[in-house]
Structure 1
């Protein structure tokens, strides 16, 4: 089974503001939108569910974790986004796994929204604290972590690299801030989105200490050289944590196919360059789906 664990589904002008769209247009300046073949426009960063399913079918992807966004400083947050995600997963129950994306500083109101979301069939919580200019371990977020642990749902946390203007972000993204979360909520399953990017070594050592912590490789295929990925993967395997690495992408900002093609080349690279322990086909089966099945409690 092939499962992608990091796809954002937003609605332009509702939970994805024109201001955020213009920021991304500037960020992707000089590149054409992969799904239109033309220069990016603000609304291109949002696609309908039908397009998502089409791309899954095109690339033979079995399931996708559907996430939203909650960037208060960029006017990109909708307190009713769980209803949109719930409709998607009800329309495509065998293909999509929904996550509620919360305002990390929303307090008890967001706890209630998460509880309602889980009642509607949503199976996880996504948060981007740094995009709201707070660190992962800001104690104001504790009620949401506590609720997720009580509900038995995993939490995907953005880590490693943020680029929105106007506030302190990079320091807030350090994956080791999640250690406080793991200590206070020992039964909570955490996913370090992007495996901390530039702090990947710290992230995998944290994972080695914390058996409930996973990491996704979203946006690595687009930003990292093959040697860097191979180095991190073999190191993770050496530390016995590669079985908790997940395939993510950051769709629809990038095509799923980027990661499929790029990551499938890593095993051969480790062999060619004598990077041990070698990455095997069994490892790839785990990366492309097995680890996500274990995280979400689903079976092939």
Structure 2
């Protein structure tokens, strides 16, 4: 069976050092003995993916420079995707506090570098996912016709992170304000399992992957949902190198998924979100100026009604 891994970062020496030295992740890295993960060359990583039938891997960038002082890893994401364009699919990480610079970055990344999506980390930005600072990014993603990964989860041992910033109930606002935007909730919205399931079920544009939390308390509800109401919405992801992708694959073999659902989770659902046809990208429809203007006007009205434009 072909597999798409929707959350993957190559364990090259530079990437491992970048993660372990990031002030946001030092505590977590120490708690899981992250330094035991051995570095590999990019070529070795690709060979291992091939041996395990992982035909595509989504690499999401991260930019939390404003809040944690760590430089964006988007240049590495672009480098990996240029070297192995048939294997890696890049999503550029965006810092909402950078304003227009973030919009310029994603526009350049998509038009000039072949990046296929955007990624945000609200718990690292220390603002809610439906904060007005994010809304220009969402509108730009709609304009470019690209999907968006929203990192959720408890942010274990991340200093000054507030998990409520990424609660699924706030993703629901974004999904309603931007129905054209494909949203992928990374880490399954844990620990709000049932809330995440409900948000994905009620919004056609919301998907999720469960990386790192497949066996946590309450996680059986994810599998029940995958076998029923969310069979087209849940995708496989490893969170490599925090979780070795080979271990993640073994873990998924243990999950009691229906055979037809397993194929969707491991490949088909991700292929649909990414717009893959026979393993290649089919161009997403970018919006024209009139469509973008309509979105902006609707968003301004929604934010104004909620009082979120005050003092801005």
Normalising by the smaller structure, the TM-score range is 0.7 to 0.9
Q: What SS does the aligned partner of 1:63 have? A: strand
Deviations 1:206-229 (A, max 9, x none): 1111011100111124x526xx44
Q: TM-score, normalised by structure 1?
A: 0.82
* Contact 2:186 2:209 (8 Å CA) reproduced: yes
Work out the CA distance in 2 between the residues paired with 1:18 and 1:181.
29
Q: Is the 8 A contact 1:128 1:157 kept in 2?
A: yes
- Going from structure 1 to structure 2, the CA distance change for 1:91 and 1:20 (only over 3 Å counts) comes to same
Give deviations 1:156-213, integer Å, cap 9, x for gaps. 0011211344424111120111111112111000001111111111111111110111
Q: Cα distance 1:249–1:13, how it changes in 2: closer, same or farther (>3 A)?
A: closer
Counterpart of 1:266 in structure 2 is 255
Partner of residue 86, structure 1: 78
Choose which of 242, 266, 271 in structure 1 pairs with 2:231. Answer: 242
Candidates 241, 256, 269, aligned match of 1:252:
241
With structure 2 as the length reference, what TM-score do the two structures score?
Answer: 0.80
Distance 1:203 1:210, change over 3 A: same
Give the structure 2 partner of residue 23 of structure 1. Answer: 27
Report the Cα distance in structure 2 between the residues aligned to 1:294 and 1:122, rounded to whole angstroms: 17
Residue-by-residue CA offset, 1:227-250 (whole Å, 9 max, x unaligned):
x44332213443x22211011111
Alpha-carbon deviation of 1:14? Answer: 6.2
Q: 1:170 aligns with which of 163, 173, 178?
A: 163
Residue deviations 1:84-113, cap 9 Å, x none? 322221211111111101112221110000
Q: Displacement of 1:150 after TM fit?
A: 0.9
Distance 1:216 1:74, change over 3 A: same
Secondary structure, counterpart of 2:97 in structure 1? coil
Specify which of 104, 124, 129 is matched with residue 136 of structure 1: 129
Deviations 1:124-169 (A, max 9, x none): 0011011121111111111111100111100000112113444241
Aligned residue among 94, 97, 103 for 2:95: 103
Alpha-carbon spacing, 1:22–1:82, altered in 2? closer, same or farther (3 Å): closer
> Residues of 2 paired with 1:161 and 1:55: CA distance?
30
Cα distance in 2 between the residues matched to 1:54 and 1:164? 33
Q: Any gaps of 5 or more consecutive residues in structure 2? A: 279-312
Residue aligning to 1:76 = 70
Task: Please say if residues 124 and 161 of structure 2, whose CA atoms lie closer than 8 Å, have aligned partners that are also in contact.
Answer: no
Change (3 A) 1:241 1:18: closer
**Structure 2 counterpart SS, 1:3:** strand
- Which of residues 46, 70, 73 in structure 2 aligns to 1:53? 46
Give, in whole Å, the separation in 1 of the partners of 2:226 and 2:275.
23
The answer to whether residue 135 in structure 2 is matched with residue 151 in structure 1 is no
Within-5 A mapping of 1:289-300: 289-300=267-278
What number of residue pairs does the alignment pair up? 272
Per the TM alignment, residue 115 of structure 1 is displaced from its structure 2 partner at its CA by: 0.3
SS in 2 for 1:220: coil
Contact 2:194 2:221 in 1 (8 A): no
